[in-house]
């Protein structure tokens, strides 16, 4: 009885701790980019007065989302949503930047697989896309900043060998940022190919690097060489902060992993928005976006990274606004309201589940407390009987045996 009570008490206590910890987990998840639902943010670029958010969803078909179903605010000021389009179907080009680790720890076969992956990306590029390649090892070298012909870039990377003794990763990231900042009116995507990060040359902290990547509008993805479970820790949190992911691969799995990465890159949608009023003041300004039925996100933007919209951007935004006004139908608001009501229903369902868990937890705590009290009473009764028998000159053990014998005779 004693063992059963102790086990039940431990189980009930653990359950209560888990239930009470749920709210703390949410409270501690203080990320710089806060998301809700299945909507994920790859990057945000601001070219005044335009705001482009590059997003993807793990469960919602964003192709069915119309501009009227998106609510966006910048510093509390409502943004006009011009269009919601799959980025690869827009006129905007993609700036692909590959960072190749050429240190001796990289198997040559894996490096060759990575080079083949770059060629595959190059084959699928459109005329408005660009390809940049930066190598890092003992030194950081810019093979191409994106302005060179793709054929020349591919020819140069075919001759690369993995033989350097160090890994100047942070210097390479610094170079990537400087090269990318020269590119305007393009979605910027970087792919780091390495077996881990060596921070011996770090001229900045990882936190500083994360801030710069997030604010500069560069989505960083990682193709990690090897099967090491700690590979994601080596790459650090900057992959998630910048909107990217990690794809571990070997020479044998490189093509499959690359296809997964290409699928992710092509599934990104561009939310093109514009603010009509005065430019918000302040160093850091909050952007909040809600997409009906898909989720929402918010983040703090550093205005020092903002640029000015080019003539081609303004022309494309104007065309998108006209196209949107032609497609707008009277029932669109009703659809939006329905989606919002559905999302509110889901939120209420989550609250109901939490209430149910609390309702279950309270009786569980009461039951566990009762068992504990019963256990204490049984122990005290046993001690009291032993003291009584000793006071009356009776052997406690013999008395217990006699009681058991009497109970056995009664049963028979």
**DSSP for 195-250?**
S----TT-SS-HHHHHHHHHHHTEEEEEEEBS--TTHHHHH-THHHHTT--B--B-
* Cα→Cα distances 110→96, 120, 136, 138, 167, Å: 20, 15, 16, 19, 16
pLDDT of residue 291: 95
| Distance, CA of 131 to CA of 100 (rounded, Å) | 13
pLDDT of residue 32: 64
pLDDT of residue 177: 87
Sheet holding 39-48, edge to edge: 80-86, 269-274, 50-57, 39-48, 307-308
* Cα→Cα distances 398→3, 273, 403, 404, Å: 25, 89, 9, 10
* Cα→Cα distances 164→101, 140, 190, 341, 371, Å: 9, 11, 22, 58, 66
| Cis previous bond, 49, omega within 30 | yes
pLDDT of residue 240: 65
C-alpha 302, offset from chain centre: 20
| Distance, CA of 247 to CA of 253 (rounded, Å) | 10
**Positions in the chain short of pLDDT 50:** 1-31, 330-337
**What CATH superfamily is the domain 32-328?**
von Willebrand factor, type A domain (3.40.50.410)
Q: Name the strand (E) or helix (H) holding 46.
A: strand 39-48
- The C-alpha angle 110, 115, 120, rounded to 5 degrees, equals 120
**161-209 pLDDT, tens digit each:** 999 888 888 888 889 988 988 888 899 999 988 887 665 666 666 667 7
Question: Which of 233-253 are b and which e, b meaning 16 or more Cβ less than 10 Å from the residue's Cβ?
Answer: ebbbebbbbbbbbbbbbebee
| Distance, CA of 40 to CA of 146 (rounded, Å) | 27
Q: pTM to 2 decimals?
A: 0.67
What dihedral do alpha carbons 152, 158, 161, 167 form, nearest 10°?
A: 60
pLDDT of residue 7: 43
By the 8 A CB rule, do 259 and 229 touch? no
* Cα→Cα distances 341→167, 292, 335, 336, 348, Å: 52, 9, 10, 9, 10
Give me the residue spans of the domains in the chain: 1-30+336-412, 32-328
By the 8 A CB rule, do 184 and 308 touch? no
pLDDT of residue 232: 64
| Distance, CA of 263 to CA of 245 (rounded, Å) | 13
pLDDT of residue 409: 72
């Amino acid at each position: 009885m004693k063992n059963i009570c102790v086990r039940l008490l431990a189980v009930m206590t653990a359950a209560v701790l888990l239930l009470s910890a749920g709210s703390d987990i949410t409270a501690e998840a203080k990320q710089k980019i806060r998301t809700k639902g299945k909507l994920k943010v790859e990057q945000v670029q601001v070219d005044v007065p335009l705001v482009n958010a590059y997003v993807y969803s793990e469960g919602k078909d964003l192709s069915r989302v119309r501009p009227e179903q998106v609510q966006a605010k910048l510093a509390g000021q409502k943004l006009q949503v011009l269009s919601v389009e799959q980025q690869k179907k827009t006129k905007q080009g993609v700036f692909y930047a590959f960072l190749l680790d050429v240190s001796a720890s990289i198997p040559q076969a894996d490096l060759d697989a990575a080079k083949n992956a770059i060629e595959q990306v190059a084959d699928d590029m459109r005329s408005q896309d660009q390809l940049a390649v930066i190598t890092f090892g003992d030194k950081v070298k810019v093979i191409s900043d994106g302005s060179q012909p793709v054929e020349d870039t591919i020819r140069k990377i075919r001759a690369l060998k993995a033989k350097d003794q160090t890994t100047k990763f942070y210097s390479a990231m610094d170079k990537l940022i400087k090269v990318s900042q020269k590119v305007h009116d393009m979605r910027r995507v970087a792919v780091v190919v390495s077996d881990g990060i060596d921070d011996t040359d770090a001229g900045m902290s990882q936190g500083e690097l994360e801030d710069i990547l997030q604010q500069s509008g560069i989505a960083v993805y990682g193709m990690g060489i090897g099967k090491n479970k700690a590979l994601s820790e080596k790459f650090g949190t900057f992959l998630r902060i910048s909107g990217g992911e990690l794809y571990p691969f070997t020479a044998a799995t490189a093509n499959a992993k690359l296809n997964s990465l290409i699928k992710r890159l092509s599934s990104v949608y561009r939310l093109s928005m514009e603010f009509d009023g005065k430019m918000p003041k302040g160093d850091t300004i909050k952007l909040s976006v809600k997409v009906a039925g898909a989720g929402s996100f918010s983040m703090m933007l550093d205005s020092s990274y903002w640029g000015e919209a080019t003539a081609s951007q303004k022309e494309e935004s104007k065309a998108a606004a006209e196209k949107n006004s032609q497609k707008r139908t009277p029932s669109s608001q009703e659809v939006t309201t329905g989606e919002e009501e559905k999302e509110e229903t889901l939120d209420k369902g989550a609250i109901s589940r939490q209430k149910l868990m609390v309702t279950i937890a309270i009786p569980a705590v009461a039951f566990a407390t009762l068992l504990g009290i019963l256990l204490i009473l049984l122990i005290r009764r046993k001690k009291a009987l032993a003291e009584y028998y000793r006071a009356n000159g009776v052997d406690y053990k013999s008395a217990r045996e006699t009681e058991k014998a009497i109970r056995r005779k009664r049963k028979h």
